Amino acid sequence: MTKLQNTLGHLSHLYAYLENLLYYELSPVYDAVSWLVSFGQWNRWRKLTLAHVHGRRVLEVGFGTGMLLDELTRRGYWVCGLDISPAMHRITARRFARQNITVAQVRGIVQAMPITSHFCDTLISTFPATFILDPETIRETARVLSVGGRFILIDMCLFTANKFLQRLARGLGIQTEQEIDWLEHALAECGLSVRPINRQRKGLIVFVMIAER
């Protein structure tokens, strides 16, 4: 292994460690950190999903502090959130308790969702962790979607032919063209029709992908 590969490997482990800290021990500052690293755009980026929601029953996986769940509820959707982190569940539950609102929250992993098959009209994932590249995640996504249901993915992606920048992006948890191509193929293999909203694949962008059953 070259020195550069070793450095990039350490960077990837560091990113995963920091991401884990934000979801558990440092969960109270999750929103502040997200706002900072996105230059204040984090909440606006998440809300890009709202123009594409289909049907009434909406499931968000990896809901974090529940801000998008809150917005969806205000718009009249029946909403359920799935997340593995007890800390995020507590933060989100307190958010809704203050508003005297009841929202279904389920603790579990996306690769084995405790959700009835064909239950969701829309499934949303915004800036997901590495679970999005697990084949089990894709199979579960197809399983829980209703006929005509829609999967909405928003993520940060770097489109470049530069191998060093590709490795650097992966180390920072940013998708590359190879991962996006894999996702499109995997979703299609599970019977979903895929269409990217962002047609221009160049540079670092916030990427929106929709897959329909």
| Whether 117 contacts 139, CB under 8 Å | no
Domain, as residue range, for 195: 3-212
CA distance 29 to 47: 20
- The rounded distance, in Å, linking the Cα atoms of 58 and 55 is 8
Query: What percentage of the chain has pLDDT greater than the value 90?
Result: 57
Is a pLDDT exceeding 70 seen at residue 200?
no
Residue 121: its pLDDT value, please? 98
Is the pLDDT at 40 greater than 90? The verdict is: no
If one compares 199 and 114, the residue with the highest pLDDT of the two is 114
pTM: 0.84
Give the CATH number for residue 129. 3.40.50.150
Q: What is the pLDDT of residue 165?
A: 87
Average pLDDT of the segment spanning 182-203? 86
Name which of 37, 18, 14 is nearest 168 in CA terms: 14
3-state secondary structure 119-176: CEEEEEEECCCHHHHCHHHHHHHHHHEEEEEEEEEEEEEEECCCHHHHHHHHHCCCEE
**What confidence tens digit (pLDDT) does each residue in 157-176 have?**
988 888 888 888 887 778 89
The whole-angstrom separation of Cα 157 and Cα 21 is 23
Total domains, the chain: 1
Per-residue pLDDT tens over the stretch 83-119: 999 998 999 999 999 999 889 999 999 999 999 999 9
What does the pLDDT look like over 188-198, one tens digit per residue?
999 999 987 76
